[in-house]
């Protein structure tokens, strides 16, 4: 069984061979193989498809919930942690193409890499089979999480949880700043979030992941 056919079997969809290969190609692998294309553009597309599908699913499934609660649940279902859980549930990690450095540091089980690859595969599905099939895929992937209490905990959506606890304690809204270092293929982002006199820091392979880590750090301090 090829990697492509294995992934298609895991997802239950037909994906163009080239797009599937692209979706599974991490930037570290691309750098070590002559600058071949990697999955970040597909990740960008998949993130949009995922967000729209989850928004519609929540709106139709929970007609009694107010906007604020719907927004919180959406943020949890499209979070890095939730997508990584989905990726692990289908054993996606071994299929991701990684550079040697990422392989040696357990990249195939890192939340950020698993989540990004899931988004890229959703984007590849959209381009290969259209919006309806991509939406159906998203619904099948996230529905098991919708009735799981762990999905909506603070560890799943730290940024929203931090904003809520700050408001409850009469503190100003969280303010984020992000710096980065390193070459394009191995860039590291460092985020700092300030909430009154409390600050949290976090690192990640993207601005989003660094901000999430920083929010979690600050949240732990405010709720200690």
Q: What tens-digit pLDDT sequence spans the chain (224 residues)?
A: 466 657 888 898 999 999 999 999 999 999 999 889 999 999 999 999 999 999 999 999 999 989 888 888 898 899 888 999 999 999 999 999 999 988 988 989 998 899 999 999 999 999 999 999 999 999 999 998 887 766 666 555 788 888 888 999 999 999 999 999 887 777 889 999 999 999 999 988 888 888 988 998 999 899 87
CATH 3.20.20.370 at 158-222, yes or no: no
Return the pLDDT at 72. Answer: 83
Can you give the pTM of this predicted structure? Answer: 0.76
Give the count of beta carbons closer than 10 Å to the beta carbon of residue 140: 13
Long-range contacts of 70-75 (CB under 8 A, 24+ apart): 71/160, 72/152, 72/157, 72/160, 73/146, 73/152, 75/157, 75/159, 75/160
Q: Output b/e per residue, 152-168; b: 16+ Cβ within 10 A.
A: bebebbbbbbbbebbee
- CATH 1.10.1520.10 residue window(s) in the chain: 3-152
178 token code pair: 């992000």
- CATH 3.30.160.20 residue window(s) in the chain: 158-222
Return the pLDDT at 44. Answer: 95
**Coil/strand/helix, residue 121:** helix
Element containing residue 199 per DSSP (H, E): strand 198-204
Return the pLDDT at 150. Answer: 64
CB contact set of 110 (below 8 Å; sequence gap of 6+)? 102, 205
Return the pLDDT at 156. Answer: 58
44 token code pair: 């960008």
Give the count of beta carbons closer than 10 Å to the beta carbon of residue 174: 22
Return the pLDDT at 224. Answer: 77
d(CA 170, CA 193): 17
CB contact at 8 A, 83 and 119 = yes
Active site residues: 47, 119
Return the pLDDT at 155. Answer: 52
Return the pLDDT at 80. Answer: 86
Angle between helices 3-11 and 111-129 (to 10 degrees): 90
- Domain 3-152 fold: Ribonuclease iii, N-terminal Endonuclease Domain; Chain A (1.10.1520)
Return the pLDDT at 154. Answer: 52
């Amino acid at each position: 069984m090829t990697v492509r056919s294995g992934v298609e079997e895991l997802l239950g969809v037909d994906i163009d061979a080239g797009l599937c290969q692209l979706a599974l190609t991490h930037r570290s692998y691309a750098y070590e193989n002559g600058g071949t294309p990697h999955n970040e553009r597909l990740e960008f597309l998949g993130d949009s498809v995922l967000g729209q599908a989850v928004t519609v699913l929540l709106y139709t499934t929970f007609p009694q919930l107010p906007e604020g609660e719907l927004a919180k649940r959406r943020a949890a279902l499209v979070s890095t942690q939730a997508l990584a859980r989905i990726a692990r549930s289908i054993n996606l990690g071994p299929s991701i193409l990684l550079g040697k450095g990422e392989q040696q540091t357990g990249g195939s089980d890192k939340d950020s890499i698993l989540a990004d690859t899931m988004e890229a595969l959703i984007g590849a599905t959209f381009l290969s089979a259209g919006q309806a099939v991509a939406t159906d895929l998203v619904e099948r992937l996230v529905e098991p999480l919708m009735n799981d209490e762990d999905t909506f905990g603070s560890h799943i959506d730290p940024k929203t949880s931090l904003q809520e606890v700050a408001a409850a304690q009469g503190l100003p809204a969280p303010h984020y700043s992000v710096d980065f270092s390193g070459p394009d293929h191995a860039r590291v982002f460092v985020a700092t979030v300030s909430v009154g006199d409390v600050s949290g820091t976090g690192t990640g392979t993207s601005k989003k992941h660094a901000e999430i880590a920083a929010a979690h750090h600050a949240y732990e301090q405010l709720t200690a």
